[in-house]
Amino acid sequence: MLMSACRHGSAPPSPPLCTQAADHVLSLLEPKDDHARDVRGVFETRCTEDRWPVSVRTCIVGTTSLKDPKHCKARLPITVRSHLKTDLATAGARAKRAPSSGRARARMRRRWIRS
């Protein structure tokens, strides 16, 4: 007797990859300047190297606005959060050396990134 599994509905969505989480962070940042791309790169690198859990990546992708953060970083272990904080500070230092027109926007991003 041959039995087959019956599947109703569609399969659950696959969890977001680090690249998707990083791309989503970039989508929330304005303008899409060098600093924004740098922040995106930090998120992808840290997520990949530190192996962020699915819950954190899902939280990031679920964030709809910088004005309404979901505090996804708080879900990371302290050491992993520290890696992210250090790399974002380095990206912020690079942004400070950028022309003054981007400094105010970089400050706004840093406020969100710290939350």
Assigned domain for 6 exists: no
Per-residue pLDDT band at 90 (split at 50, 70, 90): very high
Domain, as residue range, for 32: 18-114
Assigned domain for 104 exists: yes
Assigned domain for 4 exists: no
The pTM assigned to this predicted structure is 0.77
Assigned domain for 3 exists: no
Token pair for 12:
């659950």
Assigned domain for 100 exists: yes
Q: What average pLDDT is seen over the chain?
A: 86
Q: Give pLDDT, residue 75.
A: 97
- Tell me how far apart the alpha carbons of residues 81 and 45 are, in angstroms, rounded to a whole number: 13
Q: Are 104 and 95 in contact (CB under 8 A)?
A: no
Assigned domain for 81 exists: yes
Q: Are 44 and 60 in contact (CB under 8 A)?
A: no
Which amino acid, one-letter code, is at 37?
A: R
Per-residue pLDDT band at 13 (split at 50, 70, 90): confident
- Tell me how far apart the alpha carbons of residues 48 and 66 are, in angstroms, rounded to a whole number: 23
First to last CA, the chain: 58
Assigned domain for 9 exists: no
In the chain, the number of structural domains is 1
Which amino acid, one-letter code, is at 7?
A: R
Assigned domain for 10 exists: no
